[in-house]
C-alpha cells in the first residue's frame, strides 16, 4: 500500500509541473518590495554609433537601438548603456529534486534551489514554461533576491542552486554573480540551457559551474529555425566547449515531438555526433512531449517512439540513455553498462533505491560516470 501511495504521489507531481510556484517560505523567497533594485549593466556587449549597442551574450548578437530591448526581452539600451533589467528579479523560486532538471548522474536524491525569470533568447512554440519565457518583466510578478540571499537560502535548505525554467542566458549577469559567490560558500551551481551562447561568456560561466543540462532540441537547422526561431550550429559548438571542462558534469535532453523531430535518421545522426564529439558516457534523456503553448495540434509522444529512440542510442553505443516524462517506465532507472543490473531505481523524480557505491556498481565494480558525492 505504501508503494502504491508513493506512485500516486509521483504521478500527481507530474501533472503539476507547469505550476511554477514560490515553494520556499515567504521570508526566504523575497525581500521587501520597498527595496530599490539596483540597475545592472550587462556583461559582454559593445557600444556603437548613435548610442546603439550590440549584445554579445548569445548567438543572435542583437543590435539594440536607444530605448529598445533585445530578442530575449531582458537586455535594454538605456542612454547607450546595455542593462539586464531582470537582474535580481526572479519570477520563479522553488525547491525541486535534482532529478527534475533532469540530472541523473549528479548527486542523486539531493535538492536544488531553482531560479527563473521572465524572458528567453529562444521562442520555442512548444515551451511548457512559456508563461515565464515568452513574457516581459512588466507582465510578471517578481521578487527581489540578491546573490547573497540566494546563497543563504540554498545553505538553509542544503541545496545546490539551479538556474532553469527560462533560459539563464537571458539573465546571465544574475546567474554569474550568484555562481561566483557560491564558490566561496561551497554551494554547487547548475544550469539548464539551450546552450546557444557565445564562446566567451560560456567559458567564463563554466569556471563557476558544477553541472549543466543542455536541451538539444533536435538535430536539423530546419527544426531549430521553424520551432524555436533559433539555430543548431551554436548549440553544437557550445556542447564541444562544455565537454572540455572536466569539472563540469554534462547531461543532454531531447524532447521528442511527433512529426517534427522524431525522424529515426535524425535521432541516429544526433547520437553518432554525441558519441564522436562528447563521448559515450554523456547521459541522454529522450523525453515525452505533451501539447502546449503554440503546439497543441499534435498528440503526446507515443511511448513506442521514445523506446525506439532509446534503442537507437544504445545501438550507437551510448552507455546511459533514459526515457523521461513517463512515470514508472523501465528506462527511467539507471543500469550498469557492464552487468546490466539496475543501479538507481527511479519512479519519475523519486529515487527508491541506489546501488552505486563509491561511484561504482555494487554488483560488478564497474565505474559509473557521474558525480556521486
Would you state the pLDDT for residue 368? Answer: 98
222 and 138 in a single domain? The answer is yes
129 and 227 in a single domain? The answer is yes
100 and 244 in a single domain? The answer is yes
**Can you tell me the mean pLDDT for 313-323?**
98
Q: Bigger pLDDT: 14 or 226?
A: 226
DSSP one-letter string for 314-356: HHHT-S-EEEESSTT-GGGSEE-TTT--EEEEEETTEEEEE-E
Would you state the pLDDT for residue 175? Answer: 98
Domain for residue 237, yes or no? yes
Give every strand in the sheet of 189-193, ordered side by side. Answer: 92-97, 111-116, 160-163, 189-193, 211-215, 249-256, 284-288, 321-324
For strands 160-163 and 189-193, give the pairing: parallel
Domain for residue 272, yes or no? yes
284 and 162 in a single domain? The answer is yes
47 and 169 in a single domain? The answer is no
CB atoms closer than 10 angstroms to residue 196: 27
Is the confidence at residue 113, as pLDDT, over 90?
yes
Domain for residue 63, yes or no? yes
DSSP element (H, E) containing 303: helix 303-316
Is residue 241 left, alpha or beta, with left meaning phi > 0 and alpha meaning psi from -120 to 50? alpha
* Longest distance between any two alpha carbons in the chain, whole Å: 70
First-last CA distance in the chain: 32
CA distances from 207 to 23, 106, 187, 194, 340 (A): 29, 18, 14, 18, 35
Q: What domain range is 66 assigned to? A: 40-84
Domain for residue 98, yes or no? yes
Q: What is the mean pLDDT of the chain?
A: 92
- Chain segment 27-44, per-residue pLDDT in tens: 444 443 445 566 899 999
Domain for residue 373, yes or no? no
48 and 21 in a single domain? The answer is no
**Can you tell me the mean pLDDT for 176-204?**
98
Number of structural domains the chain divides into: 2
Name residue, grid cell 564497474.
Answer: 366
At residue 371, the 3 state secondary structure works out as strand
180 and 201 in a single domain? The answer is yes
Would you state the pLDDT for residue 39? Answer: 81
CA distances from 271 to 38, 139, 175 (A): 45, 39, 30
- Chain segment 255-264, per-residue pLDDT in tens: 999 999 999 9
At residue 70, the 3 state secondary structure works out as coil
- 207: Cα within 13 Å, side-chain hemisphere: 10
Would you state the pLDDT for residue 37? Answer: 63
- Chain segment 146-157, per-residue pLDDT in tens: 999 999 999 999
Q: Bigger pLDDT: 16 or 331?
A: 331
79 and 109 in a single domain? The answer is no
Would you state the pLDDT for residue 36? Answer: 58
Would you state the pLDDT for residue 24? Answer: 42
Domain for residue 352, yes or no? yes
Is the confidence at residue 114, as pLDDT, over 80?
yes
Instruction: Report the CATH number at residue 268.
Output: 3.20.20.70
Would you state the pLDDT for residue 33? Answer: 43
Give every strand in the sheet of 81-84, ordered side by side. Answer: 40-41, 81-84, 75-78
151 and 216 in a single domain? The answer is yes
119 and 179 in a single domain? The answer is yes
Domain for residue 368, yes or no? no
Domain for residue 370, yes or no? no
321 and 176 in a single domain? The answer is yes
71 and 205 in a single domain? The answer is no
Amino acid at each position: 500500500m505504501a508503494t502504491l501511495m508513493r506512485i500516486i504521489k509521483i504521478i500527481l507531481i507530474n501533472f503539476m509541473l507547469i505550476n511554477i510556484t514560490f515553494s520556499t517560505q515567504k521570508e526566504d523567497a523575497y525581500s521587501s518590495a520597498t527595496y530599490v533594485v539596483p540597475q545592472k549593466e550587462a556583461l559582454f556587449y559593445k557600444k556603437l554609433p548613435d548610442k546603439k549597442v550590440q549584445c554579445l551574450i548569445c548567438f543572435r548578437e542583437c543590435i539594440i537601438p536607444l530605448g529598445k530591448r533585445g530578442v530575449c526581452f531582458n537586455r535594454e539600451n538605456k542612454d547607450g548603456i546595455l542593462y539586464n533589467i531582470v537582474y535580481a528579479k526572479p519570477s520563479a523560486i522553488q525547491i525541486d529534486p535534482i532529478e527534475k532538471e533532469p540530472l541523473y548522474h549528479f548527486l542523486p536524491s539531493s535538492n536544488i534551489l531553482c531560479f527563473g525569470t521572465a524572458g528567453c533568447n529562444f521562442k520555442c512554440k512548444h515551451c511548457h514554461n512559456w508563461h515565464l519565457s515568452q513574457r516581459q518583466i512588466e507582465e510578471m510578478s517578481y521578487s527581489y533576491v540578491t546573490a547573497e540571499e540566494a546563497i543563504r537560502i540554498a545553505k538553509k535548505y542544503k541545496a545546490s542552486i539551479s538556474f532553469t525554467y527560462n533560459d539563464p542566458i537571458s539573465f546571465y549577469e544574475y546567474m554569474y554573480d550568484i555562481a561566483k559567490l557560491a564558490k566561496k560558500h561551497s554551494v554547487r551551481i547548475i544550469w539548464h540551457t539551450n546552450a546557444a551562447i557565445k564562446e566567451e561568456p560560456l567559458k567564463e560561466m563554466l569556471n563557476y559551474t558544477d553541472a549543466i543540462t543542455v536541451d538539444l532540441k533536435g538535430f536539423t537547422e530546419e527544426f531549430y529555425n521553424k520551432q524555436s526561431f533559433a539555430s543548431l550550429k551554436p548549440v553544437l559548438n557550445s556542447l564541444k566547449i562544455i565537454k572540455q571542462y572536466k569539472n563540469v558534469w554534462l547531461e543532454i535532453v531531447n524532447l521528442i515531438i511527433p512529426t517534427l523531430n522524431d525522424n529515426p535518421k535524425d535521432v541516429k545522426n544526433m547520437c553518432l555526433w554525441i558519441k564522436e564529439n562528447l563521448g559515450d558516457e554523456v547521459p541522454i534523456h529522450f523525453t515525452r512531449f505533451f501539447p502546449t503553448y503554440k503546439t497543441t495540434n499534435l498528440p503526446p509522444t507515443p511511448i513506442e517512439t521514445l523506446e525506439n529512440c532509446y534503442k537507437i542510442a544504445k545501438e550507437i553505443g551510448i552507455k546511459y540513455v533514459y526515457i523521461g516524462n513517463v512515470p514508472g517506465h523501465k528506462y527511467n532507472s539507471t543500469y550498469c553498462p557492464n552487468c546490466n543490473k539496475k543501479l538507481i531505481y527511479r519512479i519519475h523524480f523519486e529515487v527508491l533505491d541506489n546501488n552505486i557505491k563509491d561511484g561504482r556498481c555494487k554488483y560488478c565494480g564497474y565505474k559509473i560516470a557521474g558525480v556521486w558525492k
